[in-house]
Amino acid sequence: MFHRPLLACLVTATIAVSPSAQAQMMKTPEAHAPAKAVPSSKGEVDLSFAPVVKRAAPSVVNVYASHVEQRGTSRSAMDEFMRRFFGEQGSGRGQGMPGERAQKSLGSGVIVDESGLVITNNHVIDNMNEVRISLSDRREFEASIVLRDPRTDLAVIKIKSPVGGLVPMPMGDSEALEVGDFVMAIGNPFGVGQTVTQGIVSALARTQVGSSDYQFFIQTDAAINPGNSGGALVDLKGRLVGINTAIYSQSGGSHGIGFAIPTSMVRAVVETAKGGATTVRRPWLGARVQNVTPDIAESMGLDHPTGVLVASLQPKSPAEEAGLKRGDLILTVDDKVVDDPEAFGYRFALKGISGTAKFGILRGTTRSTVSVKLASAPETRPRDAVKVRTRSPFFGATLVNTSPAVAEELQKDFASEGVAVSSIDEGSMAARAGLQIGDVIVAINGVPVTTTKDLERLTRSSSGMWEIAINRGGAVLTSVFGG
């Protein structure tokens, strides 16, 4: 079971010391101990990791996030509506219980710019409206949320007031990591305070973790626990090589299998925030790809499954314009091998939205290279977002007109134009009614829905019975509410 750390117990590491080093330490008085240097060879690693920690630790911060919500004293319209349709007692708000309801989150972050920019995990600050950070020297500051990127589970926050003495952590090259390299995890496990754990890179390019849309994680056995989320994975030169984000655990504690987002993806999010944008724009392919099975690999003359198979293309998309065809096998993206859809999505997402990317493909028995234009998905018609506040099963849902841009953001295939659910308030009527993000509303009470204006008009009705047809993943489902 995967856990995203929210709050890594302290561990005691035994460092091997050579006999000659032991003798030297016995001869040298503590007061005259020689200054330590950053290890420059594997042999010197036997001495200490302390110089690396001293360099990197001041860049790692604690992140405290909270969401404070005022409770009312009267039953809300949503509670009344839910009681009417489901016979329930409501959502727990507005039932004569005045005061505040607070949610809290604890995690870590890394200073990446002298201006006070801090990178952390999106799940640390998700749904939060108040954020504070604590530096390694215990100074605390309020912070604002600059950018959220749920698809990578990354977010950028910024210290509100000017602060001196900030130490940004230099970015390392996650692409240069090899299995077996030493790394350290620095964060705030369980809120006990800044803690350093050490291990190795256990694996690279892990894609079946399931904690974000772009999966291409660094796996490490350095202890990562709740609270390490958003903290630093550091190489032996004190450079950031990953942001710790998830653990594999059956108990919630560290079992030596932790995952970090590589800096190749972190860098793209940080640069977006530095440029003043609040949304990370990524290239649109306009094609759906699938895994290559052993049978498919054998039929194409491959000795093992590799690459991704083009399953479908959208008209006038970069994929179609590049000459890709259904059944093509994409083997590489700019000479980087891709072995599954997750690896392909990660490599393509890193390319930005200008220029071209070269795909190495196999069509039949012929290998070739095609150039794919890098551009963001077009918004072929205005979204005209509508958040439903009328008494209907859509209460608490936000709906938008579909387009390639919307499909890309929601990671859904929309076969035709319509109205899609883009977000749902937790505990709302829409959530209780079973609506899901990405659902396309086909009809309400037998009347076709093609735009959000259609839906807005139809939900103004005070009908006691609602028959809703939705397209979910290509299957049309019909549900009836009320009565």
DSSP 8-class letter at 57: G
Do residues 248 and 255 make contact, with C-beta atoms less than 8 angstroms apart?
yes
Q: For residue 36, with 0-12 CB atoms within 10 Å meaning exposed, 13-18 middle and 19 or more buried, which class applies?
A: middle
Element of type H or E holding 292: none
Residue 229 is assigned to a ligand binding site: yes
Helices (H) and strands (E) in the chain, counts: 11, 26
Do residues 318 and 286 make contact, with C-beta atoms less than 8 angstroms apart?
yes
DSSP 8-class letter at 30: G
Residue 229 among the catalytic residues:
yes
Return the bridge partners of 105, or none.
Answer: 65
Distance (Å) of CA 353 to CA 284, 348, 349, 409, 416: 8, 10, 9, 15, 25
Residue 109 is assigned to a ligand binding site: no
Residue 153 is assigned to a ligand binding site: yes
- Among 79, 149, 153, 235, the active-site one is 153
As a whole number of angstroms, the distance between CA 189 and CA 6 comes to 8
Packing angle, helices 263-274 and 341-349, rounded to 10: 40
Would you give the distance in Å from CA 97 to the centre of its chain? 36
Residue 191 is assigned to a ligand binding site: no
3-state secondary structure of 222: coil
As a whole number of angstroms, the distance between CA 403 and CA 399 comes to 12
- Among 91, 229, 249, 317, the active-site one is 229
Return the bridge partners of 106, or none.
Answer: 64
Pair type for strands 140-149 and 258-262: unpaired
Length of the chain: 483
Residue 228 is assigned to a ligand binding site: yes
As a whole number of angstroms, the distance between CA 29 and CA 18 comes to 18
- The Cβ-side half-sphere exposure at 61, using a 13 Å CA radius, reads 33
As a whole number of angstroms, the distance between CA 94 and CA 174 comes to 50
- Among 59, 91, 108, 123, the active-site one is 123
Q: How is residue 481 written in tokens?
A: 């509410």
The residues that are catalytic are: 123, 153, 229
Residue ranges of the annotated binding site for substrate are: 123, 153, 227-229
